[in-house]
Amino acid sequence: MKIINKLIQVYKAKEKELIYRKNTLEGSITKIEKDIALLHNSRECAANANFDFLYTLHYIERIKSQISLKKLKITDLETILSKINDELLRNFQEQERCKVLKNIYSKRRKTEQDTQDRKTHDEIVSLKNSQFKKQK
């Protein structure tokens, strides 16, 4: 009986050890699962942080550009746009004026040429008339 009691004690000790190991393994598995979840969450946080960082950089660049534009002030921008508009209008008016002057010049040249042609024709006719009179 002594041997049987000893075997039962050894068996119970082994059973306790196995239960302890099982609980330890389950605890370890749970801990590993928690670590994996934390790692996954930290990766998401890192991805979000990276996105937030990039978005923040983009936002800072936008603010910098707005600040540099605001240094010009709205009135300065309106003045610049007004000057550009005036320059475009002046260029357009200059082009139109050049077209009109070109037309006037070409008409005047044509008129002068016509006048010159008439004078030449009149001179030729008058010379012919004078020569004809001399011949008579």
Tokens representing residue 120 in the block:
């030449």
pLDDT band at residue 43 under the 50/70/90 scheme: low
Q: How far apart are CA 100 and CA 43, in angstroms?
A: 73
Q: Say if residue 29's pLDDT is above 60.
A: yes
The amino acid occupying position 62 is R
Q: Please tell me what DSSP assigns to residue 30.
A: H
Q: Say if residue 26's pLDDT is above 70.
A: yes
Phi and psi torsions of 12, nearest 5°: -65, -40
Q: Report the pLDDT value the prediction gives residue 56, as an integer from 0 to 100.
A: 66
Q: Say if residue 57's pLDDT is above 70.
A: no
Q: Say if residue 9's pLDDT is above 70.
A: yes
Contact predicate 86/94, CB 8 Å: no
Q: Say if residue 21's pLDDT is above 60.
A: yes
Q: What is the signed CA dihedral for 39, 41, 46, 52, rounded to 10 degrees?
A: 180
Q: Report the pLDDT value the prediction gives residue 50, as an integer from 0 to 100.
A: 64
Q: Percent of the chain scored above 90 by pLDDT?
A: 0
Query: Domain extents for the chain?
Result: 1-134
State the average pLDDT over residues 82-103: 75
The pLDDT mean for the chain works out to: 72
Q: Percent of the chain scored above 70 by pLDDT?
A: 67
